[in-house]
Structure 1
Amino acid sequence: MRKIVVVSNGHGEDIIGAVLAWELQRLGYALQAVPLVGRGQAYEQAGFAVLGPRQEMPSGGFALQSPAAVWADLKAGWVSMSLAHYRAVKEAAREAAATLVVGDVYALLVGHFMGRPPLYLMQCRSSLRAWQPQGWSRPYSALERFLMRRAAGVYPREPEGERWLKAHGVAQARYLGNPMLDAPEQGPLDLTPPYLLLLPGSRSDAYESLPKMLEAVRLLNDLGLTPVVAWAGLPMEAVAGWWLESTGKAVGLTHRFQHPDGTVVYLVQKAFKTVLEGAAVGISTSGTAAEQAAGFGVPLVGFPTGGPQYTPAFAAQQKRLLGEALLLVEPHPQAIAQGVRQLLASPERLQQARADGQAAMGVPGAARRIALEIHGQLQAMDSGQGQSRSR
């Protein structure tokens, strides 16, 4: 069985890498993953081999946001961890048929120098919709474009990306959709929709934002929505003023938060698609999960945290991407609850929110389309090499 090495640098990128790996596995390939950020849980949960160190850095993958974050990661062993990542990619690439990179220029550098050609890139981070022109900045850097020109296939996350890259010398850029929409897991969920969806995120921001979301839920009891937390797998911690109860399940409804006033909030794992399909509105401080929700037509209320991920700058960038699908408010339970009511009170705004979210994210099926194109190219390369040997 031919092998492909997947290199990704982020929690959301791991999710996309896992769904691409699953589609490639269906086509007969063996996949090995090297996540450059975090523990690679998405790959592990999908049943793929995870190589290299699986270490969480203090910055959560957002080291470049401040010198303090860079210093914290360096003290935590970033250099030795990264060297081990490079060795893992190089070792796995020796017997690989190709390297698939999911991420930005850093992952692309690692894949280019340590992986084995042909190289394929799913660039799921950079968005022209979210990009804000500043001086000489570009949505894709000169170094990234230089490396892209040496790749066999480059898959931007939106059609604007394909047009921009082709206009700037990356002829092999091809938009086939956004695999984010193929990633949510469908699982059993014995809860009555419609849902009030809570998305605290997969970084440590969640421990700051979840208590505020829970308090906002108490102010929204009259809406008749079932409050559901889509938990991303962080270690579960108690929240002051709430009683946390485990259901004993590993999939679906795994925990309940109960408040003395009678409010119950349900925590769900590994059933995200089921929740998305029944959600009326969401409250979010997440990255990938928010974009997936918007793509499924779920309007969102967001608020900034102290980081490391959902900072005011990150929130503003996501707002540019999602348009009316995301309403940003102050980080207080009263403002959050008012934002939810504001969205639900206007059918016209809800319609525009759903339209903007779906326009930003495209339609499902991209992972299959990208996997088929990679498979076709690898088959054509094998056929060409076989003909050369026969001569």
Structure 2
Amino acid sequence: MTAPLNRSAPITVAVELGERAYDIIIGRDVLASLGQRIAALRPGVRTAIVTDRTVAQHWLAPTEAALAQAGVATTRIVVGEGEASKSYGVLQDVCEGLIGARIERNDLVIALGGGVVGDLAGFAASLVRRGVDFVQVPTSLLAQVDSSVGGKTGINSPQGKNLIGAFHQPVLVVADTAVLDTLSQRQFRAGYAEVAKYGLLGDAGFFAWLEANHAEIFSGGAAREHAIATSCRAKAAIVARDERETGERALLNLGHTFGHALEAATGFSDRLFHGEGVSVGMVLAAELSAELGLIAPADAARIQRHLAAVGLPTHLQDIAGFRQEGLADADALMALMAQDKKVKRGRLTFILLEAIGQAVIRSDIEPAVVREFLARKLV
């Protein structure tokens, strides 16, 4: 597998959902085409942009300019940064803002931001007037390869991540890879964890390609667009087969059962970004898989080695404030995992690995086995 040399034309990935199908447009500087694309999709539409303060500093004006150039009317709703905005209070503010802007059912909400903004704006769109369509304009690597695609929207509960939400598919995703240049290295690395996830769960060749080409992905070469497009194709295919996560789509949660518990334990703060929690979670899932005899210990070590090579945390001890807030308590982590959305009749569901590139859904792992495993990893 090699990266394409021609970067001039945007890449289009289709999400095949029948009458609700939509395209993901991937490429450098495609944000400038947003207004034209929306005007063609919904002539005469009005829009409301939901974004956060940091993204607004860089990309709100260019987004508004692209819309104005195409004659698309818009208003803006700006929220705070970070997971704290995925709350009841901020959701109410966004909903009231959309109603105050007189956004109607045939109008569009534009989610301009990372995963937090996409989840929040998409959920608000699903609620206002019992459902307004929305467009995702993801500005983080994590959002471009994962959260902007597939229709999962929501907010956090004090008891766990993403426990309040709805499936609400976007009508268009515009992923401009140039906006990633403004991310910090830590933010970009966090998004890369989700890229690596696609190789681990279903494409061994892609994972091997990432091992060889990750430097160019970080530097912004042609490998970046290739990695994003490959990730989006993988997710789009799974979503098309299992939109509401009744089966196969759960594989996309590789690393997330552990990772979401770690995010909750750190108070959904910048002590642990979502992708960082997923990175630690994928290593834990790989190591648990090895202990259960599903994969070779050498494969688990290979996964840990690659994630560490790009600068991601791979052990519980890598998390800031490791000894605080329950991170060093196996029972507390087990209690947080018990709130995971994949729990069924009290049984934890884990996404484990039978090989690099072959994930499997397991709901038969005894809690005592997991607790003992975590207790050893916490030492």
TM-score > 0.5 by shorter chain:
no
* Bigger radius of gyration among the two: 1
Q: Which has the higher helix share?
A: 2
TM-score (norm 1): 0.29
